[in-house]
Amino acid sequence: MNDFQPHRIVPSYKVAVVQWVESDELARALYQELAALGHDPQYFWCEDPLPPGVDVVFTFAPYGHFLRIASQLEQYKPERRPVLVHWNTEGMPDLRLPWWSVRTLGRMRSWAERLFDQPSSPVRKLLGSRITAWQSSRMLRFRYIGDYHYAYARGWLQVFADSSAVYAQIHSRHGLPTHYFPWGAVPEWSADLGLERDIDVLWMGKRGTKRRGELLDRITGELRRQGKTVYIADNEEQPYIFGAERTHYLNRAKIVLNITRTWYDDNFSRFAMAAPNRALIVSEPMLPHCPEYEAGVHYVSAPPAQLADAILYYLEHEAKRARIVENAWRLLATDLTMRRSVQRVMDEVASLLCRANATSHHQVEP
């Protein structure tokens, strides 16, 4: 796979990359791409203090308490404060809701989290750790929005990006400047293993919602009745697959099935894993979260009621399947790479710091 190479020299920065969980695949990918671009990355655990002497704090997802990280920037003098980059890869509340309600609920949910998260909070002491943990897992999508706006208003969050072009436009329209940086191919997540494609259809990931679970059962049930080999890595029928094991199964799969939790969700991260391993993605229709992908060119799109038929068709028509697989592989090999997205993030950081330095020099001139 040909990785994107920068065409101009950019400054090298010391970058602290958050680790939300043990064996964090995305943190590792970001670390590797930052290093390949000439930066000096280091990990830090999400619950620990920020590392000293870094220029940039790079967070993503989040899979934990984003504001615990962001609020630490308050202790720095403005001229010594690292740039906080956050790349949101999580979903939004129902897009049909009016924004005033989303913003209001987001503010309330973020306020509640800050209240409960204070170790000395009388509310926390009164209710206990179990209830505190329970409330912390509720209305997460609202909390993320409230947290982001809170951090931006206080000057902590300086570069905000989203993996969805749709979500980026919504955030920007409502007062939070947002860059679109898509999921791209990660070299470590794919390989040509030369294996027989003996799995007709592969499903990766948890069911998540009743809708997705029911669709998955109906579609895979129909395929199995037709004698097709289906492997479901949902941690119920089969364990989840990660890393090299995921690459192994993707090299054995002819088709990867994609079903969203809700009608507006962004599931294109799945494409960035499947396409570089030359598995065809068959998906229900999705919003243009990642407009680089074109249905019928880079993947197959069909209404939920027709997904089983679409899968059967492309299993029977190998040449047509191969053409779409090749188109998708080429897109992920040349244009849609994680390195390109990371470079775009760091270009924004460089521009921000250059403007800050220019302003600082101007202010000290006699």
CATH T-level fold of 14-184+337-364: Rossmann fold (3.40.50)
pLDDT at residue number 3: 55
270 has pLDDT over 90: yes
Segment 350-363, tens digit of pLDDT: 999 988 777 654 44
pLDDT at residue number 124: 54
The reply to whether 14-184+337-364 and 188-334 are identical in fold is yes
306 has pLDDT over 90: yes
Distance between CA atoms of residues 217 and 117, nearest Å = 39
Residue 365: band (very low, low, confident or very high) from pLDDT cuts 50, 70, 90: very low
Q: List the chain domain ranges.
A: 14-184+337-364, 188-334
pLDDT at residue number 364: 42
42 has pLDDT over 60: yes
Burial class (CB in 10 A: 0-12, 13-18, 19+), 107: middle
Burial class (CB in 10 A: 0-12, 13-18, 19+), 16: buried
Segment 175-224, tens digit of pLDDT: 999 999 999 999 999 999 999 999 999 999 999 889 999 999 999 999 99
Segment 101-137, tens digit of pLDDT: 999 999 999 998 898 876 555 655 555 555 545 556 6
From residue 71, give the alpha-carbon distance in Å to each of 48, 52, 148, 239: 12, 15, 11, 37
For the domain spanning 188-334, the CATH number is 3.40.50.2000
Segment 147-174, tens digit of pLDDT: 999 999 999 999 999 999 999 999 999 9
pLDDT at residue number 362: 45
pTM more than 0.85: yes
